[in-house]
Amino acid sequence: MTTNTETISFFSLALDRQPGLVSRKKTSIRRGMLLGGTPPGWNVLALSQNDFYQYCDQAAIKLHEITIECHGVYLVCNGRPYIFISDKLRGAEKTFVCFHEIGHFWLHKPGDQFSADGKRPSRWANAIEIEADIVAVCAMIPLTVLKRHRPGEIADLYGYAPELVRLRQEVFDCWQI
Ligand SMILES: [Zn+2]
């Protein structure tokens, strides 16, 4: 069971990778690449766990829900994409992690986090995780929903933690996505 406290700390974790609005704003994300690389329904329809499964099927992503230490992993092995999701996750947390990982599939080439020599972090190393978070939160709370409802209504309507709605608002304020 997912308690409310766990939900709050989970989304705070996502937020805290780049704490605060100001430092987030300083991180350049590849806005055009993000908007161009995501599928047509993204940020238009409120996507669900089932939509995620369909995207995985369509793209022949091998999905495994297993016992792992982290929330989720995306990797490419022999040219085949894999997503691993922790079997401990439930509800909105799980959906967030699923869309975060498929966000890497949509946007990021393997090795994007490293510079050409394969050793140092690339100039996009910080942006990569934020971009995947943006994919996740906008999948769950598209702009159409954000524009139509107040934050409290969105939380009630979809059963989301207020932190998730706050993260969504922050993404809009920073990058107009
Ligand atoms: Zn990630």
User: Does 16 have pLDDT greater than 70?
Assistant: no
Grouping H, G, I as helix, E, B as strand and the rest as coil, residue 81 is strand
23 CA from centroid of ligand 1 (Å): 19
159 CA from centroid of ligand 1 (Å): 24
> Which of 131, 161, 175, 172 has its CA nearest to residue 11?
161
User: Does 3 have pLDDT greater than 50?
Assistant: no
153 CA from centroid of ligand 1 (Å): 29
101 CA from centroid of ligand 1 (Å): 6
Q: Which two tokens stand for residue 35?
A: 């908007």
Q: Which two tokens stand for residue 119?
A: 């050793």
User: Does 84 have pLDDT greater than 50?
Assistant: yes
Higher pLDDT residue, 151 or 10? 151
Is the Cβ–Cβ distance between 55 and 74 less than 8 Å?
Answer: no
121 CA from centroid of ligand 1 (Å): 15
Task: Give the whole-angstrom CA distance, residue 61 versus residue 52.
Answer: 11
Task: Give the whole-angstrom CA distance, residue 31 versus residue 176.
Answer: 9
142 CA from centroid of ligand 1 (Å): 20
Give 97-124 pLDDT, tens digit per residue. 999 999 999 999 877 777 777 777 777 7
pLDDT class for 83, splitting at 50, 70, 90? very high
Q: What is the pLDDT of residue 116?
A: 72
Over residues 147-158, the mean pLDDT reads 96
Q: What is the pLDDT of residue 24?
A: 58
Contacts of 152 (CB under 8 A, 6+ apart): 162
119 CA from centroid of ligand 1 (Å): 19
132 CA from centroid of ligand 1 (Å): 6
Which residues does residue 121 pair with via DSSP β-bridges, in sequence order?
114
- Indicate the length of the chain as a whole number: 177
Q: What are the E-state strand segments in 36-167?
A: 62-66, 72-77, 80-86
Q: What is the pLDDT of residue 117?
A: 73
> Which of 103, 126, 101, 82 has its CA nearest to residue 34?
103
Give 38-67 pLDDT, tens digit per residue. 999 999 999 999 999 999 999 999 999 999
